[in-house]
Amino acid sequence: MSRYIVTGGSGFIGSNIVKVLLKAGNEVKVIDNLATGRESNLETVKADFEMRKVDIRDFDSLSKEFSGFDYVLHQAALPSVARSVENPYDSFDVNVLGTINVLKASLKSEIKRVVFASSSSIYGDSEKLPKSEGDPVNPLSPYAVSKYSAERLTLQFFKLYGLETVALRYFNVFGPFQDPKSQYAAVIPKFITLVLNNKVPEIYGDGTQSRDFTFIDNVVDANIKAALSPDAPGNVFNVACNERSSINDMVDILSGISGKEINPTFSESRFGDVKHSLADISKARSILKFEPVVKFKDGLEKTFTWFSEKQN
């Protein structure tokens, strides 16, 4: 049994990680200020872990809570490109300064390893596909810049101070427990909810923009492998399926799954949105022994079923 801290553990990705860690018999403590996370995400396991309502910008509290634990899976962040365009200060305050606190507290508490949740958004509008970890980056939004800054800081803590750190660049994660109600909600939970309620979804752009949609189970598996793989420290890895689908493709598949004809409306592209995204995951395959366990279409079906059952 190992002892894990999951920052942002009440959020979409964090809560899924917590459940898998608990199922494997590990001890888990969740650090979350509940700004975007929800305690209801962990309702089914609430008796099995420690919950601490702490903001990652509070270094003293983090140091106290981290003491005695082995690994930190750092998922806490202020997400959304659109939110960061509206308020870049908050994105940097949480995502960069908060991450520095997590790293300093981990070093002080002698944590064995920190796994940081980075983002594919840092690649920006590079036309090269697939995108590999050694490619130039070109973040297009304050959110993407904040994630890249935090990622670099994370890896520097390994080089400068010997704290074992790993960064995972997530590509368009989706799945159960993702929030569809926020104005900043990701496209898949938002579309599924609209379809279930017989409402018309809106596509920003012409729908040909493509993504490497990554089902949540793959991301959870990558975090655990990154925490335990002996050759992982000091590295950054893409976490995705190496499978490219357009928004229009997603709508067509969702139409087949739901049995409903979906006729979305189209509007102008949003500032900061990337046109195409596809990951090269060969590095994660080689070093982490990572292999996507759920492909996009299967993940979309699982996600639709979950939202459908939740609504009924």
Q: Where are the domains of the chain?
A: 3-174+216-242+279-293
pLDDT at residue 274 tops 90: no
pLDDT at residue 27 tops 70: yes
pLDDT at residue 275 tops 90: no
pLDDT recorded at residue 1: 86
CA distance linking residue 212 with residue 278, whole number of Å: 5
| Structural contact between residues 89 and 20, judged by C-beta atoms closer than 8 angstroms | no
Averaged pLDDT, 17-45: 97
| Structural contact between residues 165 and 159, judged by C-beta atoms closer than 8 angstroms | no
pLDDT tens for 77-127 read 998 888 888 999 999 999 999 999 999 999 999 999 999 999 999 999 888
Confidence of residue 67 (pLDDT cuts 50, 70, 90): very high
pLDDT recorded at residue 184: 65
Query: In this prediction, what percent of the chain has a pLDDT beyond 70?
Result: 99
Burial class (CB in 10 A: 0-12, 13-18, 19+), 22: middle
Strands (E), 15-108: 27-31, 50-52, 71-74
pLDDT recorded at residue 60: 97
- The 3-state DSSP class for residue 56 equals coil
CA distance linking residue 66 with residue 71, whole number of Å: 9
CB atoms within 10 A of CB 183: 8
Report the predicted TM-score, pTM, of the whole model to 2 decimal places: 0.95
Tokens of residue 172, six digits: 């368009």
- Produce one character per residue of 213-224: b if its CB has 16 or more CB atoms within 10 Å, e if not: bbbbbbbbbbbb
pLDDT at residue 269 tops 90: no
Least confident of 196-200, 225-229, 299-303: 196-200
Tokens of residue 221, six digits: 């598996």
For the chain, the average pLDDT equals: 95
Confidence of residue 271 (pLDDT cuts 50, 70, 90): confident
CA distance linking residue 205 with residue 242, whole number of Å: 23
Query: In this prediction, what percent of the chain has a pLDDT beyond 90?
Result: 86
pLDDT recorded at residue 80: 84
CA distance linking residue 268 with residue 11, whole number of Å: 30
Averaged pLDDT, 213-234: 98
Q: Which fold has domain 3-174+216-242+279-293?
A: Rossmann fold (3.40.50)
